[in-house]
Amino acid sequence: MTAMTVETVYEAFAATAEKYPDRPFLNVLPGTADIYGIPPGELTYGAARQEVDALARDLMQAGYGAGMRVALLLENRPTFFLHWLAVNRIGGSVVPVNPDLRAAELEYLIGHSEPALIISIEDRHKELEAAVAAAGIKAAVIAPGDPVPGPRDQAVTARPLEGEAREAAILYTSGTTGKPKGCVLPNTYFLLAGRWYAGVGGLATLTEDGERMITPLPVFHMNAMAYSFMAMVMVGGCLTVLDRFHPRAWWQDVAASRATCLHYLGVMPSMLMGFDPSPEERAHQVRFGFGAGVDPKLQIAFEDRFGFPLVEAWAMTETGAGAVIAASGKDRLVAQASIGKPGTGVECRLVDDSGRGAAQGELLVRHAGPDPRYGFFSEYYKDAAATDEAWKDGWFHTGDIVRQGKDGNLFFVDRKKNVIRRSGENIAAVEVESILMRHPDIEAAGIAPVPDPVRGDEVFACLKVKNPSRGKAEAITRWCLEQMAYYKAPGYIAFVDKLPLTPTQKIQRAALKELALQLLEDPDTIATGHMKKRQAS
């Protein structure tokens, strides 16, 4: 099987298993094994292929076939990947289920995707069965290793496409506004992501000499599914997936995994920088970290302290590697929130609200070449109007505000709807939140705009803290004035028990904005705008 004939995720895996049957494929650390109640240790490509092929035979013998969907609620366990590969081998598609979803969310996802079968950890079966009943469909819920029942009559199937275009998965967006959208992802999406990562080069160079990657990110998201997993498959590497990020044990986990590279999200570097230095934090073999959202003020100190570069990148569930951008070159702009320059395979435009070109504006992307949608999601499932709107005028509209420097480097600013405009200054909510999360007393922070009769918008902070008080609000504001430009500091602070979050633990921006407007009239909200004064230079 050559690279030219590989058309599916399974075929890519099988080709690597044939080439490197004795190499480690998936690795489970003892801590993760204890939490999940599964054996620790490594699974080789050869042994994994045998398991995958056996699972695929069971599915086919039970009557499952091309186009049928199988929902997987398996947390970050290795069996997630094995079942995905098995379903892919028979021409089916998987619907990864976030284990944090609860009744209404499960009902929506299952009713919308209409899987023919659900494979789940046992302690979620009752909830899933209730969701199946509430959604009005018929789908058996089984655990890994259970006998496979036959599919229901007239099981829904994906569109009958050929080759790489066949559906491999449906991933659901966070749904910060309205219901989550189901992104239909073809085999092309995953193959291109793996090939892109394997060949991106620069600081993020991967070889076929036995790479080892560690990630604490959820396997039911595109980062781990399309980039971490597929990159290791493409280079014959080993993937260590943790159940989640454990900051105090992180460096022990990294060392134990013998990782040569790791994946991160922005909050991780901030948390790790908060610990006292120790010898463990340099006892690793990591050459680079790959992720997004590191606080620019921390990046240089982080890299100096822990001994490897952080490669900042940009992509979306919808874009995959069809339009991915990464600051992997040695000429990257460290500590400037740069996501790098677009590669030759990506075309980009920045436009203002009227659609005119701008130095800072919404990022529009497409794949370079004859097929502008190559490597992207196929469609929003059951939502042709939303798909067409996203691809208006032949460009994918990302909803991200980006700035481009004179040298061509791109700088992420914020989501389009999360920019606060105060007295002519654009303030990125995520930037302020990132800084606030470095304060030792703040457990959660959400920033939203509220109207101001003079300045247009004012910065409103919803904070979860220990022992809230007016004095603490003023102390936090004074601290903010030392950490950021005065206009970015909160003009109002409300202490809350929790923030409105999506099932993937992202802030629900629309709900947060509504909450801020309500709390603006709450007598317990503390006005701190009088403390925001420009400091003499």
- Percent of the chain past pLDDT 90, that is, above it, reads 82
399 with 495, same domain: the answer is: no
463 with 358, same domain: the answer is: no
386 with 456, same domain: the answer is: no
392 with 451, same domain: the answer is: no
**CA distances in angstroms from 291 to 227, 245, 285, 328, 464, listed in the order given:** 11, 14, 18, 11, 26
3-state secondary structure of 414: strand
Chain centre to alpha carbon of residue 49: 27
91 with 216, same domain: the answer is: yes
Q: Mark which of 404, 434, 451 sits at the end of a domain.
A: 404
266 inside domain: yes
**Closest to 505 (Cα-Cα) out of 174, 216, 227, 284:** 174
Q: Which residues pair with 273 in a beta bridge?
A: none
**Closest to 487 (Cα-Cα) out of 418, 435, 535:** 535
Determine if residue 163 is left, alpha or beta; phi over 0 gives left, psi from -120 to 50 gives alpha, anything else beta: left
pLDDT band at 4 (very low <50, low <70, confident <90, very high): low
Over residues 386-405, the pLDDT tens digits come to 999 999 999 999 999 999 99
360 with 495, same domain: the answer is: no
537 inside domain: no
536 inside domain: no
Domain that holds residue 182: 9-404
**Pairing status of strand 325-326 against strand 338-340:** unpaired
3-state secondary structure of 142: strand
The rounded mean pLDDT for the chain is 94
461 inside domain: yes
Q: What is the pLDDT of residue 537?
A: 37
pLDDT band at 424 (very low <50, low <70, confident <90, very high): low
**CA distances in angstroms from 345 to 189, 291, 327, 348, listed in the order given:** 14, 20, 15, 10
The domain total for the chain is 2
Contacts of residue 60, Cβ cutoff 8 Å, sequence gap at least 6: 90
Over residues 254-265, the pLDDT tens digits come to 999 999 999 998
CB atoms within 10 A of CB 102: 11
Whether 328 has a pLDDT exceeding 80, the answer reads yes
377 with 464, same domain: the answer is: no
231 with 282, same domain: the answer is: yes
pLDDT band at 431 (very low <50, low <70, confident <90, very high): confident
Whether 235 has a pLDDT exceeding 70, the answer reads yes
- Answer whether 488's CB lies under 8 Å from 459's CB: yes
Whether 1 has a pLDDT exceeding 80, the answer reads no
Q: Considering Cα of 371, then 377, then 383, then 387, what sign does the dihedral take?
A: negative
297 inside domain: yes
Whether 2 has a pLDDT exceeding 80, the answer reads no
**Pairing status of strand 526-527 against strand 212-215:** unpaired
pLDDT band at 204 (very low <50, low <70, confident <90, very high): very high
415 inside domain: no
Q: What is the pLDDT of residue 154?
A: 80
Tokens, residue 393:
């005028």
398 inside domain: yes
**Closest to 172 (Cα-Cα) out of 188, 155, 185:** 185
Q: What is the pLDDT of residue 477?
A: 96
Average pLDDT over every residue of 458-467: 96
447 with 397, same domain: the answer is: no
Whether 175 has a pLDDT exceeding 70, the answer reads no
451 with 518, same domain: the answer is: yes
Give per-residue burial for 337-370: e unless 16+ CB within 10 Å, then b: bbbbbbeebbebbbbeeeeeebeebbbbbbbbee
430 with 389, same domain: the answer is: no
Whether 310 has a pLDDT exceeding 70, the answer reads yes
Over residues 341-394, the pLDDT tens digits come to 999 999 999 999 899 999 999 999 999 999 999 999 999 999 999 999 999 999
Whether 82 has a pLDDT exceeding 90, the answer reads yes
CB atoms within 10 A of CB 104: 10
CATH number of the domain to which 456 belongs: 3.30.300.30
Whether 176 has a pLDDT exceeding 60, the answer reads no
Ranges 19-23, 55-59, 241-245, 453-457: which has the least confidence: 453-457
Q: What is the pLDDT of residue 414?
A: 79
Q: In what order do the strands lie in the sheet with 346-351?
A: 338-340, 410-415, 396-404, 360-367, 346-351
With tokens 């409105």, the residue in question is 500
Helix 45-62, helix 78-89: angle, nearest 10 = 50
4 inside domain: no
27 with 141, same domain: the answer is: yes
Q: Considering Cα of 152, then 156, then 162, then 164, what sign does the dihedral take?
A: negative
Helix (H) or strand (E) holding 197: helix 187-199
CATH number of the domain to which 185 belongs: 3.40.50.12780
Ranges 18-32, 44-58, 91-105: which has the least confidence: 91-105
pLDDT band at 100 (very low <50, low <70, confident <90, very high): confident
Q: What is the pLDDT of residue 438?
A: 87
Whether 426 has a pLDDT exceeding 90, the answer reads no
Q: Mark which of 372, 404, 436 sits at the end of a domain.
A: 404
CA distance 325 to 438: 27
Range of 43-47, 333-337, 454-458 with top mean pLDDT: 43-47
Tokens, residue 446:
């959400």
Q: What is the pLDDT of residue 307?
A: 98
